[in-house]
């Protein structure tokens, strides 16, 4: 499959790249060092349509498809993979648009798409990661409200975001068919946050636990029909996985670029190390894996956009792109040698950032299970 970009797509890709180079790259190391989230940068990204990529223009969005969206995410990740929080934000914005009432769309989608509000999605719990059925958070209907109790962990944007879509059980007897989504607002009674987590990377984006203690949520804030939350989750998770894969491609490109540049400049034994066959072979393997990952991501996005069966291809793209990203970042550190271990040379950050993508949106072991399931179903 050949993906020849249209003029509109090239312009979009260039816009995202220019934004990342000017508004992110000069500042990301300071943000990471000081664990500072830049709300200003989020608002600037929103002003260019990057906070409502997947919703129609009448709701403040850019009305992009997944193929165009992954190109934006890829270009942002070349400067800072921590900008993946924008993918999470867009996932929530699209989620509310697709599953919400018109009142919810007007109340939440418009300000989210404009960047007036920031959003997080809340699924993982202390005892429920890959095993979503082990979820303990639950909500009980009481008049015009639901009373929510439970805990969520590893929430991207936790404490900083204004809006949170929360998945919990509403019928404990039905397993996966007894879950519902709710839209929570920061400041609701009974909704509190844990301390910011200290992480291997992505410190410019806060992550923390969320606690719900008899949190009263209006029934009007239920997102979608009661007990159909898991069905809605399945419909949206493929988009999230493609976004993570696109982030991995962008990070891989940054690592390869840095390795190529250094190999041309570093002189040992009287010549640039790029002239040594060992280095050339490493670079060739890095570039080949990167290109294969990019094509898998583009294919998966294309299938999603055309409503074609995509589960296998999405899992392949997520698994391969993120595993390749870890290998490419590792080899970039190796090519830079001792300098690759130093913070002055950003490949050590690329290395630290790469690990996350192998875990989030379903671990790569889970992706292998899904791929095998689809293969054996045929």
The verdict on 235 and 373 lying in the same domain is yes
How far is the C-alpha of 311 from the C-alpha of 7, rounded, in Å? 29
Same domain membership, residue 370 and residue 284: yes
Are the C-beta atoms of 74 and 249 separated by less than 8 Å?
yes
CB 241 within 8 A of CB 317: yes
Residue 224 and residue 101: Cα distance in Å, rounded? 8
* End position of a domain, from candidates 65, 99, 117: 117
Same domain flag for 172 and 45: no
Q: Are 191 and 282 part of one and the same domain?
A: no
CATH of residue 153's domain is 2.40.110.10
pTM here is: 0.95
> Contact 79/22 with Cβ under 8 angstroms?
no
pLDDT digits (tens, 9 = 90+) for 88-120: 999 999 999 999 999 999 999 999 999 999 999
Q: What is the pLDDT of residue 102?
A: 97
What are the CA-CA distances from residue 319 to residues 47, 268, 293, 350, 368 (Å)? 33, 37, 9, 18, 7
Choose, from 75, 247, 361, 374, the residue flagged as catalytic: 361
In the annotation, is 361 catalytic?
yes
pLDDT digits (tens, 9 = 90+) for 113-148: 999 999 999 999 999 999 999 999 999 999 999 999
Q: Do both 239 and 350 map to the same domain?
A: yes
8 A C-beta contact, residue 196 and residue 75: no
Report the pLDDT value the prediction gives residue 1, as an integer from 0 to 100.
Answer: 67
3-state secondary structure labels for all residues of 253-321:
HHHHHHHHHHHHHCEECCEEHHHCHHHHHHHHHHHHHHHHHHHHHHHHHHHHHCCCCCHHHHHHHHHHH
Same domain, 134 and 223: yes
Rounded CA separation 142/45 (Å): 40
Q: Are residues 186 and 323 in the same domain?
A: no
* In contact, 163 and 113? CB cutoff 8 Å: no
Would 2 be classed as within a structural domain? no
Calculate mean pLDDT across residues 246-275: 98
**pLDDT per position as a tens digit, 307-339:** 999 999 999 999 999 999 999 999 999 999 999
Phi and psi torsions of 195, nearest 5°: -70, 150
Q: In the chain, how many domains are there?
A: 3
Tell me the residue range of the domain where 215 lies. 120-227
Q: Is residue 1 part of a domain?
A: no
**What residues contact 167, with CB distance under 8 A and at least 6 apart?**
122, 123, 135, 137, 179, 180, 181, 229, 230, 233
pLDDT tens per residue, range 53-92: 999 999 999 999 999 999 999 999 999 999 999 999 999 9
CATH of the domain at 20: 1.10.540.10
């Amino acid at each position: 499959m050949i993906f020849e970009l249209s003029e509109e797509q090239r312009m979009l890709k260039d816009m995202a790249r220019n934004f990342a180079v000017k508004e992110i790259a000069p500042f990301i190391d300071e943000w990471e060092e000081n664990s500072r989230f830049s709300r200003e940068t989020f608002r600037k990204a929103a002003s260019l349509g990057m906070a409502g990529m997947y919703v129609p223009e009448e709701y403040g969005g850019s009305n992009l498809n997944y193929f165009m969206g992954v190109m934006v995410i890829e270009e942002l990740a070349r400067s800072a993979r921590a900008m993946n929080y924008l993918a999470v934000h867009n996932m929530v914005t699209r989620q509310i648009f697709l599953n919400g009432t018109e009142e919810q769309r007007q109340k939440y989608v418009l300000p989210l798409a404009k960047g007036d509000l920031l959003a997080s999605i809340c699924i993982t719990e202390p005892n429920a990661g890959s095993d979503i059925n082990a979820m303990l958070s639950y909500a009980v209907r009481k008049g015009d409200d639901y009373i929510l109790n439970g805990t969520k962990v590893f929430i991207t944007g936790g404490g900083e975001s204004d809006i949170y879509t929360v998945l919990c059980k509403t019928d404990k007897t039905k397993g996966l068919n007894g879950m519902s989504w709710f839209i929570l607002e920061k400041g609701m009674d009974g909704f509190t946050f844990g301390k910011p987590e200290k992480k291997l990377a992505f410190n410019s984006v806060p992550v923390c636990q969320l606690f719900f203690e008899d949190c009263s949520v209006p029934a009007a804030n239920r997102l979608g029909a009661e007990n159909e939350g898991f069905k809605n989750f399945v419909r949206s998770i493929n988009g999230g996985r493609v976004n993570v894969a696109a982030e991995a491609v962008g990070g891989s490109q940054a690592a390869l670029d840095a390795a190529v540049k250094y190999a041309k400049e570093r002189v040992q034994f009287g010549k640039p190390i790029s002239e040594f066959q060992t280095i050339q072979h490493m670079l060739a393997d890095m570039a080949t894996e990167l290109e294969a990952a990019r094509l898998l991501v583009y294919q998966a996005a294309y299938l999603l956009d055309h409503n074609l069966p995509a589960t296998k291809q999405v899992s392949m793209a997520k698994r391969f792109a993120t595993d390749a990203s870890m290998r490419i970042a590792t080899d970039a550190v190796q090519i830079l040698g001792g300098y690759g271990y130093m913070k002055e040379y950003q490949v050590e950050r690329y290395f630290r950032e790469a690990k996350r993508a192998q875990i989030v949106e379903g671990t790569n072991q889970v992706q292998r299970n899904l791929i095998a399931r689809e293969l054996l179903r045929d």
